[in-house]
Structure 1
Amino acid sequence: MSRRGRWGLAVWLVFVLFAVQGAQAQPGATWTPTGSMSTARYGHTATVLPSGQVLVVGGQDSSGLLDSAELYDPATGLWSSAGTMSTGRIHHTATLLPSGQVLVAGGLTNSWGSTAELYDPWTNSWSLTSDMLTNRVGHTSTALPTGQVLVAGGWNNNTALDSAELYEPWSGTWTATSSMTAGRISHEAMLVYGGQVLVTGGTDGLNYLASAEIYEPWSGSWRPISGMASERAYDASATLPSGRVLYTGGNSSNWLLASAEVYDSYQGSWVPVTSMATHREDHTATEMRSGIVLVAGGIGFNGYLDSAEVFDWWTGTWSSAPNMSTARRFHTATPLPSGQVLVVGGYDGSTALASAELYSPGPSPWAPTGSLGTGRVNHSATLLASGKVLVAGGVGNANSTAELYDPATGTWSSTGSLGTGRSDPGATLLSSGKVLVVGGWSHGNFASAEVYNPGTGTWTYTGSMSTARRSHTVTLLPSGKVLVTGGYGNSGVLATAELYEPATGTWSSAGSMSTVRYLHTATLLPSGKVLITGGATGSFAYPATAELYDPATGTWTTTGSLNRGRHSHTATLLSSGQVLVTGGWSNEVLATAELYDPATGTWSSTGSLGTGRFIHTATLLGSGQVLVAGGAYSPNMNDTIATVELYDPATGTWSPASHMLNHRGSHSATLLPSGQVLVAGGDNGSWPPLNVAELYTPPQSSSPVKQRFVVPSGSGRISR
């Protein structure tokens, strides 16, 4: 969250240098200058517009309050005018509305600030809207999921306000809502789990506060919660994955803070984390990518700071970052879609700054690519013969839609929609180049199946299975037929299996497994047999059994059992012909991994993952290593992660790899002909599901592995 500057008269203090040993620097991270604003300013706001441009508004320079606004274009690194407000203002708020307009409210103006105005990015112009009910400086403003904006606290005529009010964009009016339990200035307000607003700390004008409270939009009331470990004001906060918020530094009755703490809105508790290397206030804290936060600038014991440091939530550690070119306080820091952070303006102790600079976190094998047209989770993803990737169905705003990813352009385009919207279907590429999607659910389980024709971009129904099912597996056999196994049906968990004949579009029985199971895996072995592992029986039991289907005889036989029963795990055929099973759930999240040897029909333990996980993905790379990405690491399936690990079959060990840009589970991961891996969609603990996608490029990319089997979308996933 960009740091709002401190209101009122600054009190200058001289501190003794407090030396703290910094952590190891971020490898490859750099600051680079970018275009300067036309006007130097501090105490301004910065807002990312839907276009990707950054709107900077107001603030102050040596001549006084500013009514000007400027636009930064990340594509060119240049600034342009964004018009003029009706009044100069500092320590105001700026909030992006669902319409794309920006609401600027209050602040210190030529008189106490109750005025509000709207910026329209399409006309590049400003217009007044209704005044707030109360003059406010140093307040907070939070966009609610309802479309309303909650404004809370602030300073008015030497009084810390406890009042709050709501702005309704559709009517352009303000209405009062319940008051906070305490008057607060220079506090923090963050949107957390369930659309609630968490307000923390600040000062009441006399005392620093450690108290915290939550605003519930559905009741319009405030609920006090346990306070922070440290009273703090003029601190900086940033969002973390899964409804968490990081609070850093600030000031207290014990002077400057280096401490940090995290609020977990799912658990309703505070989590201590290690302290920063530097005591600082009036700094910025910005989440650059999932769980990775850049803290920059501010003022410390030895004066204005040009230093920066990075917090990694996944490891709980801080590391030093290169210094900015200029010490700054009362600046803004804005995350850009490129993964860089734009730092703008501020005050260096003697003058307002017009300069801006970009923080680049260093090289990463992960890079953003085009976004899906709609967010989706538990969808199918299938590599086509053309090299494009077909994504279909899933839980989302439109689960009958389908999209195509083109690796040549890095863009998505819509294609024909499924006849039946379905989540958790099974999908496989047929020998003809068409795609079979079968089963799934949406207010009931489906037996129906559809075939996608890449040549026409259309879907046609084909024969239906004899049994409706979801969370099943789908495997293309060497004969061209398709084997479907198990799943969850209308009468419970299934043991039955069926065979699809593409030539006739019909289904026939493939016998039954020895055990009912869903959320299991199916792996085509070099022998042509299919290995079924684990799953759930529906009665909180997770079988360790495994069995083999032989297409030559149409029969099932048991084989060696896993060392640990599990579901929502992954199974990957290695270059050696062995099968690697990782993670999963078995009344706890599992980090263990094991290997199946088809020659002996036995399982052996191999190195464990660094982090237990389920609903993750596992992809065989051209190097022969296995890339495991994301998933959930706690019983709460919304508690998803961005961490990535690589398995080396030669040593049987795991090593951490660079984190994904986004935390996600129940996503898809597709090996492209280039050797890159496309990760798309998934669950990040909020609604709607993710529509963002990213590409993993192996650091030492080798020739891609020829895909010998297709992992079905329903394999190893939690159904929703």
Structure 2
Amino acid sequence: MNCPAGFGRMAALVMTLAMAGCSHEDFAEPLDNPEDVSAALGESSIWAAASSMSTQRMDHTATLLRSGAVLVSGGQTASAELYDVKTARWSNVGSMTAVRRRHTATLLPSGKVLVVGGDSGASSTGTAEVYDPSTGLWTATGSLDTLRSGHTATLLSSGAKVLVVGGDSANVGFATARLYDVAAGTWAETGSLSTPRTGHTATLLASGKVLVTGGRTGPNGGFLRTAEVYDPATGTWSSVAPMSGVRSGHSATLLLSGKVLVVGGLVDELTATRTAEVYDPVAGTWTATVNMMTAEARAQHTATLLHSGEVLVAGGTSGGDLNLQSVVLYEPTSNRWYTTYSMTTSRLGHTATLLNTGDVLVAGGRPDGGPGTASVERYIAPAPPWRLTGSMTAARYYHSVTTLDSGVVLVAGGTATGSSALMGAERYDEHDGTWVAAGTLATPRFLHSATKLASGKVLVAGGQGSSSVFLASAELYDPATSIWSPTTGVMATTRSRHTATLLDSGKVLVAGGRSGSSFSTLLNTAELYDPATGTWRAAASMSRKRLYHTATMLQSGRVLVVGGTTPDGDTNTAELYDPATDTWTATGGMAATRYGHAAVGLRDGRVMVVGGWSGRGAVATAEVYDPATGAWSTVASMNTARYTPMATLLEPSGRVLVLGGDGGTSVGLLDSSEVYDPATGVWTSSGSLSSPVTSASVAKLPGSGRVLVCGGLGTSGALVSTELYTPAL
């Protein structure tokens, strides 16, 4: 089978073509309309019917809860219902205090949902209420200053306030904005827009500011092309560059790059546009994208950012009375639009919700020429969780990886042979998927540590220059200049395979490892680096020498060191370092000895340890340390035994991704990955990398929640490849 290539992932289209056995040459250009896809691939579809809601709904809301379920509320009714993704069933969850449509629903940090305003079709309401998933109850909360519907609601970055902007009532548009205090349940006045707006969009930017675009001055008012930004720090609005043309009922989607994609909208009472443009918050400018395909003008549609970074645009109206069934896909990297399979029915006033699985649940709305519908369908996003991205300039393993404040990933040093060190460094930018040189280390090194300091600089310490040369030197990387500079002082001893932990004070704790090639050189010593002086000083020593151990920062500010191998054998012991007293204290031991394991701090403050080597081989076991009790508890074992696995906490789900490693003598290196859900205690397979790997470096990409795996040791030696994992669970 020849797989399509050349246009990024192209989400569903590429995967569907691949499954059909089509080559890239068969479809070298974007398709003009959905019929082209259908003609090529027959009647197969990537839309799947889902069980219908109990009530016909239009202009309702749909909110993805932390449990993964979807709460649907209102839509010319006061009722609400819940969709369970696992069972694919709907259940009623009571009624709101008022009939609502054109209202807003906002997921709060507590997991509750704030529903605000809306109208019954005859009159608007200014009431608000909160749904609590833990009890299934609706509770009234503070009311707005006025009746309001067609507004926007945005949870600010602080998580403490919800910003409600614009809207209308009784054919009058509003310029006012209100802030909801999540803790107090009350509303307060904040700065007003420069002009009334309804049918506008509001997008939370990476800076924490809120971008509002377009709309109309009222239900029957003039159409707008202006845009303005709200600054939560000052409570004021400022105008920014206007869009290329007027838009109302358009969509605005925050892309993984931090830019905002604005699509379609009405330009007058009966005419929609097929244009789209992108706003760059850093430059404060708009750039036109290519237009949607012929006959794809649309407004009042949905736009959903997929895990792949593409945007799925579905349904809406082309103007007048024609509602749409078609679906298009925007791919930001190539700046191109693609068609994908149409929905089973046309829809206007529907919702589209990105599920934790990566699929999109589309519910309700009004088919062309009909009343609201209760029908539901699901867009199956077939993109695999793993995909290759740009390769590094050098093959390497035993290197370090650090995510910089800018979101760019820095890789430094390593080895390609296992006997000599590399001195090159390079940086990966997720936005363009490429690596560029990032200066040269002052000293070639591998098996060193790398720690991002509070200043944004990166401290690289110790390691080896060759199989027999161990290092005590350290150096700093400055992201602003890409220059590496030796620190003023050096460590007290040569050190390799140690751990390095950034403390709350800004200092760095280095502990354990080895100072030479023989097993007798294992270390129990620890030392502290002070960025303020650029010097090292001795810290209290651990209770025992440790190699292949882990060190994890706890929420209390203490550091948990676990397991490892010692001159006396492998250990199950753990100890805590307290920076305030410079002391180590023994804490509860694990159920079994292990070294070469991975440790991940969970959201609730506990620490999970997985895999490693115990006794005579690699293990699949996992256990969790509770700082409150100092005790360990075993949890479900992984599906695969793994020695030296890589692991990281996924955002925003709080799940744990474990990948690769060595399965043991009879198994060899692994290409599999799996995800642990602390809420259910269950491990789930999460796809395979392009090749088996160990000793790779793993970095979280803060803008997208993806995980970057770069280099490592494969079955044929050092790897130059890098892969991206997109959380799909």
TM range (shorter): 0.5 to 0.7
Tell me, yes or no, if the aligned pair for 1:425 and 1:440 is still in contact at 8 Å. Answer: no
Q: Which residue of 1 aligns with 2:24?
A: none
Q: Which residue of 1 aligns with 2:287?
A: 271
- TM-score in terms of structure 1 length: 0.55
Tell me, yes or no, if the aligned pair for 1:29 and 1:359 is still in contact at 8 Å. Answer: no
Tell me, yes or no, if the aligned pair for 2:200 and 2:215 is still in contact at 8 Å. Answer: yes
CA distance in structure 2 between the partners assigned to 1:32 and 1:307 by the alignment:
15
Q: Equivalent residue of 2:714, what SS?
A: coil
What letter matches 2:476 in structure 1?
Y
Whether 2:128 is the aligned partner of 1:124: answer no
Aligned partner (choices 108, 133, 143) of residue 145 of structure 2: 133
Whether 2:228 is the aligned partner of 1:209: answer no
CA distance in structure 1 between the partners assigned to 2:168 and 2:689 by the alignment:
55
Tell me, yes or no, if the aligned pair for 1:56 and 1:69 is still in contact at 8 Å. Answer: yes
Say if 1:673 and 1:242 are closer, same or farther in 2 by CA, change over 3 A. closer
Q: More relative contact order in 1 or in 2 (CA 8 Å, sep 6+)? A: 1
- TM-score in terms of structure 2 length: 0.55
Shift of 1:436: 5.8
CA distance in structure 2 between the partners assigned to 1:492 and 1:427 by the alignment:
16
Shift of 1:202: 0.4
Q: Which residue of 1 aligns with 2:46?
A: 30
Shift of 1:288: 0.8
Aligned partner (choices 298, 313, 318) of residue 295 of structure 1: 313
CA RMSD for the aligned pairs?
Answer: 4.2
Shift of 1:193: 2.9
Tell me, yes or no, if the aligned pair for 1:241 and 1:290 is still in contact at 8 Å. Answer: no
Q: Which residue of 1 aligns with 2:652?
A: none
CA distance in structure 1 between the partners assigned to 2:401 and 2:53 by the alignment:
45
Q: Which residue of 1 aligns with 2:111?
A: 100
Shift of 1:474: 4.6
Aligned partner (choices 329, 334, 338) of residue 348 of structure 2: 329
Instruction: Describe the superposition over 1:557-595 as per-residue Cα deviations: whole angstroms up to 9, x where unpaired.
Output: xxxxxxxxxxxxxxxxxxxxxxxxxxxxxxxxxxxxxxx
Say if 1:342 and 1:430 are closer, same or farther in 2 by CA, change over 3 A. same
Aligned partner (choices 327, 337, 350) of residue 370 of structure 2: 350
Q: Residues 493-504 of structure 1 correspond to what in structure 2 (within 5 A)?
A: 493-494=485-486, 500-502=515-517, 503-504=519-520
CA distance in structure 2 between the partners assigned to 1:316 and 1:308 by the alignment:
17
Q: Residues 391-540 of structure 1 correspond to what in structure 2 (within 5 A)?
A: 438=449, 440=451, 442-443=453-454, 470-471=459-460, 474=463, 477-478=466-467, 487-488=475-476, 493-494=485-486, 500-502=515-517, 503-505=519-521
Any stretches of 5+ residues in structure 1 without a counterpart?
A: 1-19, 61-65, 369-380, 384-389, 397-422, 447-468, 508-669, 697-703, 714-720
Tell me, yes or no, if the aligned pair for 1:68 and 1:84 is still in contact at 8 Å. Answer: yes
Q: Which residue of 2 aligns with 1:313?
A: 332
Instruction: Describe the superposition over 1:364-411 as per-residue Cα deviations: whole angstroms up to 9, x where unpaired.
Output: 36289xxxxxxxxxxxx999xxxxxx9999779xxxxxxxxxxxxxxx
CA distance in structure 2 between the partners assigned to 1:483 and 1:210 by the alignment:
61
Tell me, yes or no, if the aligned pair for 1:344 and 1:355 is still in contact at 8 Å. Answer: yes
CA distance in structure 1 between the partners assigned to 2:472 and 2:47 by the alignment:
53
Q: Which residue of 2 aligns with 1:59?
A: 75
Tell me, yes or no, if the aligned pair for 2:150 and 2:168 is still in contact at 8 Å. Answer: yes
Aligned partner (choices 258, 264, 275) of residue 259 of structure 1: 275
CA distance in structure 2 between the partners assigned to 1:483 and 1:672 by the alignment:
34
Q: Residues 210-249 of structure 1 correspond to what in structure 2 (within 5 A)?
A: 210-249=225-264
Q: Which residue of 2 aligns with 1:84?
A: 95
Tell me, yes or no, if the aligned pair for 2:213 and 2:226 is still in contact at 8 Å. Answer: yes
Q: Aligned residues, how many?
A: 447
Q: Which residue of 2 aligns with 1:40?
A: 56
Say if 1:353 and 1:489 are closer, same or farther in 2 by CA, change over 3 A. closer
Tell me, yes or no, if the aligned pair for 1:476 and 1:709 is still in contact at 8 Å. Answer: no
CA distance in structure 2 between the partners assigned to 1:394 and 1:489 by the alignment:
12
Instruction: Describe the superposition over 1:42-83 as per-residue Cα deviations: whole angstroms up to 9, x where unpaired.
Output: 1000111111111111002xxxxx111111122221111222
Whether 2:178 is the aligned partner of 1:159: answer no
Tell me, yes or no, if the aligned pair for 1:425 and 1:437 is still in contact at 8 Å. Answer: no
CA distance in structure 1 between the partners assigned to 2:520 and 2:690 by the alignment:
30
Q: Which residue of 2 aligns with 1:607?
A: none
Q: Residues 594-673 of structure 1 correspond to what in structure 2 (within 5 A)?
A: none
Say if 1:679 and 1:91 are closer, same or farther in 2 by CA, change over 3 A. farther
Say if 1:25 and 1:494 are closer, same or farther in 2 by CA, change over 3 A. farther
Shift of 1:87: 1.1
Any stretches of 5+ residues in structure 2 without a counterpart?
A: 1-30, 389-395, 420-445, 496-514, 524-687, 723-729
CA distance in structure 2 between the partners assigned to 1:242 and 1:694 by the alignment:
16
Q: Residues 675-694 of structure 1 correspond to what in structure 2 (within 5 A)?
A: 680-685=698-703, 692-693=706-707
Tell me, yes or no, if the aligned pair for 2:699 and 2:709 is still in contact at 8 Å. Answer: no
CA distance in structure 1 between the partners assigned to 2:403 and 2:282 by the alignment:
25
Say if 1:710 and 1:121 are closer, same or farther in 2 by CA, change over 3 A. same
Tell me, yes or no, if the aligned pair for 2:449 and 2:461 is still in contact at 8 Å. Answer: no
Aligned partner (choices 113, 118, 122) of residue 125 of structure 2: 113
Q: Equivalent residue of 2:700, what SS?
A: coil
Shift of 1:158: 2.2
CA distance in structure 1 between the partners assigned to 2:123 and 2:291 by the alignment:
40
CA distance in structure 2 between the partners assigned to 1:294 and 1:676 by the alignment:
36
Shift of 1:362: 3.1
Aligned partner (choices 356, 373, 381) of residue 361 of structure 1: 381
